[in-house]
Structure 1
Amino acid sequence: MTKKLLLLGGVALPLIFAMPAVAQELPTDAGTPQEEADPVRASDIIVNGQISFRNRTDDANPVLSYDLEYFQRFEPVSVGEMLKRVPGVTFTSDVLEYDGVQMRGLPPGFTQVLINGRRAPGGEADRSFFVDRIPAELVERIEIVRAPRADQPSEGIAGTLNIITKESVSFEGGFAKAGALINEDGKVRPSGAIAYATSIGEDTTIWAGLNYQERRNPKKKVSYRFGDTPTTGAPYTDDPEFDNTELQDDTRDGSDLSGNLELTHRFGDDGRIRFSGFFVDTDRDEDESSVTLEGEDLDFDGIEVQHEEINQQTYSLGMDAIVPLGGVELGLAAGWSGFREDSTSTVFVGENEDDLTDLELDDEETLNIKDDEYTGTISLTFGKDSPLKVKAGVDLLHKKRNGLNDGDFLAGEFTIKEDRYDPYVRLTYEPSTTFSVDAGLRYEITRRDVTGEDIDDASYDTEMLNPSLHVRYAPTTRDQFRASVARTVRRPNYGLLSPFEEEESPGDEDVTIGNPELRNERAWGVDVGYERRLGTSGIVGINFFYRNIKDLTELVRIADSDMGGNVYTPRNIGDGDTWGMEIDFSAPLTAFGLPDTGLFANYTYLDSETTDPFTGEKRRFNNQPHHVYNLGFIQTVRTIDASFGATISGRSKAREYNFDETIDLRYDPDLELFVEKRIGKNFVLRGSVQNLLDRQKKEDFRKYDGDSLDEIIANRAAGDLDEYEIEREKSGPLFQVTLRAAF
């Protein structure tokens, strides 16, 4: 009940404050597009006492825009840490890890990640991109695109995250940063950055930035296993069903080197050509040791030590141009994005209780990925300065992904080639500043080939027409309504496309065989929202969404395996629906005489329904919570030129369904604080802390067994457990001290 009251309070509080705030005056530049704003000096961004709130955009389709300054006070290390504060975003990562972003509670593969409007290839088989690899220092702003326009890629059933890197046209001057991340055990990891933007003549600007940071996350995990649901509480060893416990130490320790460069030249009245590039180089070691203790007396039963070396690089080069041709505007863009991974994993086991270093090799695996994407765009826009604009163009993409997996349970080399041709037409009708309609058609043509050693080559072609319609109505300078209908797609998991036999998957005695003929998952989506400007800079918004998803991919049993289990293959067999409500609020308390106090809150309600492929029962999507929330404030104290603030975020529990187990997942709330002191006009010293409440990740596993798939399903339906496992993981507070200088 206490948690429910906190959630309701998180929703009600911003609405209460919103009512009197509407009496404030609008700024004269209300609604100015982000890209048209004049460049600002580095000191105005790095060293200032102003509180930044969510941007209001005039896009017809639903877009939320957040400048880096919205997050900067809490010193996020990566884009993942930034996204903790935006509506509807959550993670199922380990504590203090924010990698696979889940918009609207759907798996990471349902979220499209773009960098400067282009797809970002990543190493994940589900085509997701781990956003914790993009340092916050590279970011100018983040856009959450809830529904795409016709000239935007149609992927992103849950939504699209567009990461805009820093650009020369919106920034002047330079800054330097030096910092340190300090774990609870006292271990320190350094960070540093330097960047500069300037003009070359009257028409050319340049930006260059370089960032280095080290990160470390030591975690402890404990698991208790029972023959049935435990009847007593901790320490559990007194329970008659208690079987064993496992104690784990898990430390992730690595570094990121990144940089970006941009050169922009303007010509004529509206012409522009821009060259840009960025890179991220990640090296990380993951070390995990697990000791198993059996029975009530906790007798030693073995140790397992795992070491993983991860080396990943992401590169991007791009060019885009706007060329006025009389009454027509020509748009051109071309780019290359590359991803490289070279990782090794080793597992050692031992049975000598007196010497835990007496180990022998049990498993070794090597993973190599080379992924290249080449993109091109050409478009023509007619009637740019008239109420009716027509934009016609085509997006081109050529992708080649080479993979080598050399291990005990999955071995083989494969190549996936994908070519896409996406012509589109977009019509925008804006008879006045109060009303606009954006309608379009995007025809996506995909040609995919999968080849590999010892397998038959496979090809798959698909064509899909994706319409979109967005309506914006702004009856006053404060109020704005939006409604959108759009069709989106999700392309298949690379691992499920590759027709290899993967042993020990999904269960210990099972085999999974990939299916190159998997179809794209498709969705019709509806978004309806309302925004109101509060005071000079605040905003409150509410959005309702619905997605009807077809051709969901699920594993299907096709035979018995030679190891005594089952053989599975992925197929398009399921449909599903998901819906919810998103509320966000950010505003200063000017109406109460507190212009230097900023409040921030968001709350998302989520629900869904799909058919379980094994039991045939209706259930929610895997790992989708019902509630996601964030509540915080920032206070500026002008008399001492300082600021401080706090945010608390959390989510409700969720459940994951597998063929032979269910997993209940919960997280404790996460509290983070910051305090900063501005020193003159050019320096700011900031201290921040994450995970102040020492939050835990809590998982409860219910596992079922049987001699056949039907018996496993029957045991699962009857609740006849083979094993019940309680797992708890935590990591201590993470402190950060940062000194920033503007010049």
Structure 2
Amino acid sequence: MIRNTLKTTLLSQALLFALAAPAAFAQDAALDGSTDAAPDPKQLDSVVVQGEIAYRNRTADIEPVLSYDLEYFQRFEPTTVGDMVKRVPGAAFVGSDIMEYDGVQLRGLAGGYTQVLINGKKVPGAGDDRSFWIDRIPAEMVDRIEVLRSNSANRSGDAVAGAINIVLRDAYEFDGGYLRLGATRWDDGEVNPSFGAVASGEALGGRILGGINVQDRYRGKYKRSDRFSDPSMQELVSWEDQEEIKDGRDYSGNVSYTADVGETGRLSIDGFYVKTDRDVTEVSYEEEYDDGEVITADVPGFSTVDQKNWGIGAEYRFDMAGGTTELDFDYARFEDSSIETEEAHAYVDGEWDESEAERLDIDASDTETSFKIAHKRWLGGTEMQFGVDYRAKEREIDHAYYEFAADNEGDPVVYQPDTMVGSLIEETRIDPYLMFSGGTGVMAWEAGLRYERTDSDIESSQDGDLVRVSKDYGELLPSLHLKWDLTDADRISLSLARSIKRPDFNALIPALLDGEYGDNDYIGNPHLDPETANGLDLGYEHRLGRRGVVGINLFYRDIDNLIELVNTGEPSDEMIGTWEDLVDDGEYATIEEAMAAEPANSWVFTSANVGSGKVYGLEFDLSTPLGAFGMENTGVFMNYAYVKSDVDDFMGERRFNNQAKSTFNVGFIQDLPTLDASFGLSYRKQGDAYERIVGEEVTISYGEDLEAFVEKRFGNSFSLRFTAANLLDASKDEVFHKFNTLEDQFARDYDEFELETEEAGPSYQLVMRWAF
């Protein structure tokens, strides 16, 4: 229960244009002799009144980078970074509730394999797998989104699947200001307002930018579960109807200050703050059939979420010793103070039988402090860069479990302590690196070497029992990137890099969790080594005219030291309790006799480094105007990613858990210059994902998502935009195969087979923007 929660014709035409565009634009590319260059500073009023359609940027980076300005997404009025990232190639969201996009998964791998950066720097997050929930950052704070497909030596190497870099608006790059007012109407009639403001200009001897955003966050959904004795679905065991409402408000702000110091120095200071207040209310009705009896239950649940993310950083760059020296200091913190409760009031054939309740209090904090010193200089025709990153991380979490059982119907709920689990994980990293880059205008290269040394101390307490463990490890991470410009329009890129994934926090904590996997228990392993991966990316990119681009990328990851569940061979607490009861009942004289007569069938599992895994696939993306068809004011975008993987677990071969097989996005924007208006559609489909753990196997499917917008512009400073989301009323569908023991799972002796679906309905948003 609570513990487990921790854990269209027009469209077809657009797709046809998208598929035909590469050939049609081949001759146009030769007309564009421009080279990649840094964009001119942008006026903030361009976010309000967009004079033309925005397309994916073609960067000059040697490493493979996809870059998307906010304007690329803005016509569809995304509310969060998650709403933006869901449109980029290869970004999946498995496990998120319908119409929510929190834990991003590049290449379909679990969130912990994807690194999330803010302004190129690591930040702590809520995920026990070290992931950062990107729906916590409002879209209004963002300048651009970068997809970093491979590692470089001057960046932290824990990005096996790649990295998402959220670049916030910077005072040096923007000028002006605007206001944003909006309202969203949900399928159940609820209306939520939102407000945002951004301003930038000269101040305090430099330039300063500030932004604030307040938005009500709401999601109402309906869930239906049908449970059977086995997949034949001939015997209905129980069913459940549930309504859930998430109702809250997010507050956020960011500030950026940049000033020139002396002749060569530049000082930059930036900070951000995000606060989430949310109430989650669940109302469930269950009906179960057991030996002719009908057992009904009212199951109300209520949760409160109070989370804060904030960070501040300072960077100073100056010329020194024939090169440029950079000093960085960053401090970021995540705090979570949440409560989850669930009650169950059961009736047998209409008569009260029992009332039970559970409560979980979470008090968590995660702090990261980092310092960097780096120097860059030219050695002949080669640029050399070297430096050291220092990072200290402290993650502290307390879980307090409470329970209640009523003696009589109507007894007030009075919680009693059940289990208290506390943990403190401290990690200190010192990562030196050396990197060289160079090349001609046709061929460019980058080669680097990074050594990441981690010293960790893990402390766990469970009901007063304290355990302390230290663990140190180091990994050498080489990287090589090649970029070959065949013509002004055609480019080939090759990347080879080694990356690392540190163990999930929960997997490190040596606390015993009773019944975590069916009847099986789980205990963490603080001696885990990190997973490492050797990766390859091979890409081709072609410029289409002046603004369009099409690309295809093949990738491969060979992962070693894979962390999977293993059986310790120790019987579970439930099994031990069964033996003790047999002795107490006089059936056996000793525990040993009971153990011999009644062999164990439930165990204590842990995590261990076992075997290896492979992940591979392809990614295609297209973003271009249709000028070759005489439709210069029509822009199309399409991307598709197909992923496949192989890994061995306790039952044999499978894909990586929760890896969506594919992601597909396609859409168009039609600008109407004579009317100062535009409209467009966006369609998204995510492939199925599968998960197999001890006691449970799950297949997750998401329905098709269709969004649309209509925009009217008034002069150079005012715009009105109407957007609609989830127009196909997509659902999230899950199929559960449940087993009590590992033996049952091998024998396919089911405890339960469950079908679950959830829906949320369409939503509609009206947004006004005014530039000043």
Render the CA deviation track for 1:154-197: whole Å, top value 9, x for unaligned: 01111111100011111110010000111011111110001101
Structure 2: gaps (5+ residues) = 1-8, 403-417, 576-601
State the 1:510 CA deviation: 2.6
Structure 2 residue matching 1:519: 3-state secondary structure? coil
Query: Are 2:423 and 1:417 aligned?
Result: no
User: 1:667 aligned to 2:677?
Assistant: no
Helix, strand or coil: the match of 1:167?
coil
> Residue 588 of structure 2 aligns with which residue?
none
**Corresponding residue for residue 531 of structure 1:** 541
Q: What fraction of aligned residue pairs are identical, expressed as a percent?
A: 39
Task: Tell me the distance in 2 between the aligned counterparts of 1:501 and 1:532.
Answer: 54
For residues 104-125 of structure 1, the C-alpha deviation after alignment (integer angstroms, 9 at most, x for no partner) is 1111111111111111101211
User: Does 2:438 match 1:429?
Assistant: yes
1:579-594 → structure 2 map (5 Å cutoff): 579-594=616-631
Relative distance call for 1:13 and 1:359 in structure 2 (3 A) is: farther
User: 1:563 maps to which residue?
Assistant: 574
Distance 1:557 1:416, change over 3 A: same
Amino acid at match of 1:224: D
For 1:618 and 1:501, the matched residues in 2 are separated by 28
Contact 2:33 2:488 in 1 (8 A): no
2:139 maps to what in 1? 136
1:498 to 504, 509, 519: 509
Contact preservation (8 Å) 1:244, 1:298: no
Q: After TM superposition, give the deviation of residue 137 of structure 1 in Å.
A: 0.7
Q: CA deviation at 1:325?
A: 1.8
1: CA distance, partners of 2:262 / 2:21 = 47
Aligned to 1:379: 374
Shift of 1:410: 5.3
In structure 2, distance between residues paired with 1:443 and 1:309: 42
Summarize the Cα distance change of 1:583–1:12 in structure 2 as closer, same or farther, 3 Å threshold.
farther
What CA distance in whole angstroms lies between the structure 1 residues aligned with 2:485 and 2:636?
25
1:359 and 1:675 map into 2 onto residues whose CA distance is: 54
Structure 2 counterpart of 1:346? 341
TM-score normalized by structure 2? 0.89
Q: How does 1:381-420 map to 2 (within 5 A)?
A: 381-383=376-378, 387-408=381-402, 411-420=420-429
Match of 1:337 among 329, 332, 335: 332
Q: CA deviation at 1:611?
A: 0.4
Whole-angstrom CA distance in 2 between matches of 1:572 and 1:111: 20
Distance in 2 of aligned mates of 1:402 and 1:250 = 30
Equivalent position of 1:48 in the other structure: 50
Post-superposition Cα deviations, 1:593-623, rounded to whole Å, max 9, x if no partner, equal: 11110000000111000002x21x2211112
Q: 1:616-666 CA distances to partner (integer Å, 9 max, x unpaired)? A: x22111122322100000000112110100110002222211222221211
The letter of the residue matching 2:332 is S
Q: Confirm or deny: 8 A CA contact 1:410 1:503 kept in the other structure.
A: no
Aligned residue in 1 for 2:130: 127
Give the equivalent residue in structure 2 for 1:212: 214
User: TM-score of the superposition, structure 1-length normalised?
Assistant: 0.93
Q: CA RMSD in A?
A: 2.4
Are the equivalent residues in 2 in contact too, given 1:221–1:728 (CA < 8 A)? yes
1:84 to 1:228, Cα distance in 2 relative to 1, 3 A: same
Question: How far, CA to CA, are the matches of 1:48 and 1:159 in structure 2?
Answer: 31
- Give 3-state SS (helix, strand or coil) of 1:457's partner: strand
Contact 1:321–1:331 (Cα < 8 Å) also in 2: yes
- On the 8 A contact 2:295/2:349 being kept in 1, the answer is no
Distance across 2 between alignment mates of 1:545 and 1:671 = 29
Deviations 1:529-571 (A, max 9, x none): 0111111111001000000011111121111112133211111
1:561/1:567 contact within 8 Å kept = yes
Q: Does 1:550 align with 2:557?
A: no
Question: What is the letter of the counterpart of residue 752 of structure 2?
Answer: E
3-state SS of paired residue (1:71)? helix
Q: Relative to 1, partners in 2 of residues 1:455 and 1:115: Cα closer, same or farther, differing over 3 Å?
A: same
Deviations 1:443-491 (A, max 9, x none): 0010000123322210000011000000011121111110000000011
Structure 2 residue 477 is matched with structure 1 residue 466: yes
Change (3 A) 1:356 1:66: farther
Aligned to 1:517: 527
- Measured in 2, the distance between the counterparts of 1:450 and 1:182 equals 47
Correspondence 1:735 to 2:764 = yes
Given that 2:660 and 2:687 are in contact with CA atoms closer than 8 Å, whether structure 1 keeps it comes out as yes
Residue 10 of structure 1 contacts residue 602 of structure 1 at CA under 8 Å; is this kept in 2? Answer: no
How far does residue 682 in structure 1 lie from its aligned partner after superposition?
A: 0.7
SS at match of 1:334: strand
Partner amino acid for 1:666? S
Which residue, out of 290, 297, 302, partners 1:302? 297
Find the aligned partners of 2:42 and 2:104 in 1 and give their Cα distance: 31
Give the number of equivalent residue pairs: 716
Selected match of 1:23 from 27, 33, 37: 27
Aligned mates of 1:80, 1:44 — CA distance in 2 = 22
Per the alignment, residue 457 of structure 1 pairs with 468
Task: Report the counterpart of residue 235 of structure 1 in structure 2.
Answer: none
8 Å Cα contact 1:121-1:371 kept in structure 2: yes
Q: Which residue of 2 aligns with 1:578?
A: 615
1:242 to 236, 241, 249: 236
Alpha-carbon distance in 1 for matches of 2:369, 2:434: 22
2:260 corresponds in structure 1 to 266
Task: Name the stretch that deviates more: 580-589 or 651-660.
Answer: 651-660
Distance, in Å, in 1 between the alignment partners of 2:456 and 2:438 is 37
The answer to whether the Cα contact below 8 Å between 2:17 and 2:626 also exists between their aligned partners in 1 is no
Change (3 A) 1:277 1:182: same
> Which residue of the partner structure matches residue 405 of structure 2?
none
* Counterpart secondary structure, 2:467: coil
Q: Aligned partner of 1:221: which letter?
A: K
Question: Which amino acid in structure 1 is aligned with residue 451 of structure 2?
Answer: Y
Question: Partners of 1:299 and 1:732 in 2: how far apart?
Answer: 32
How far apart in 1 are the matches of 2:323 and 2:400? 54
8 Å contact from structure 1 (residues 181, 215) kept in 2:
no
Confirm whether residue 313 of structure 1 aligns to residue 308 of structure 2. Answer: yes
Verify the 8 A CA contact 1:303 1:356 in the aligned structure 2: no
Q: Which of 601, 621, 625 is the equivalent residue of 2:638?
A: 601
| Alignment of 1:85 onto 2:87 | yes
Paired residue for 1:95? 98
Tell whether the 8 Å contact from 1:705 to 1:715 is kept in structure 2 after alignment.
no
Once structures 1 and 2 are overlaid, which stretch shifts more, 453-462 or 669-678?
453-462
User: Which residues of 2 match residues 611-630 of structure 1 at below 5 A?
Assistant: 611-612=648-649, 614-615=650-651, 617-630=652-665
Distance 1:24 1:682 in 2: 34
Offset, 1:497:
0.9
Work out the CA distance in 2 between the residues paired with 1:10 and 1:299.
Answer: 54
Candidates 711, 719, 725, aligned match of 2:754:
725
Q: Is the 8 A contact 1:492 1:519 kept in 2?
A: yes
1:43 is displaced (CA, Å) by 2.0
Per-residue CA deviations over 1:430-449 (Å, capped at 9, x if unaligned) read 2x222111000000010000
Q: Is the 1:60–1:472 Cα contact (8 Å) retained in structure 2?
A: yes
Query: In 1, Cα distance between the equivalents of 2:605 and 2:11?
Result: 41
TM-superposition CA deviations, 1:324-383 (whole Å, max 9, x none): 125211111011001111001111121369999999561111101111111010011111
TM-aligned CA distance change 1:356 to 1:31, over 3 Å: farther
SS at match of 2:172: helix
Kept after mapping to 2: 8 A contact 1:209/1:261: yes
* Residue of structure 1 equivalent to 2:729: 694
Aligned to 1:110: 113
Amino acid in the other structure paired with 1:227 = S
| Equivalent position amino acid for 2:459 in 1 | T
Distance, in Å, in 2 between the alignment partners of 1:279 and 1:405 is 25
* Higher mean displacement: 582-591 or 560-569: 560-569
Seen in structure 2, the aligned counterparts of structure 1 residues 590 and 379 have a Cα distance that, compared at 3 Å, is same
Which of 736, 744, 748 is the aligned partner of 1:712? 744
In 2 relative to 1, CA 705–404 (structure 1 residues): closer, same or farther, beyond 3 Å?
Answer: closer
Deviation, 1:269, is 6.0
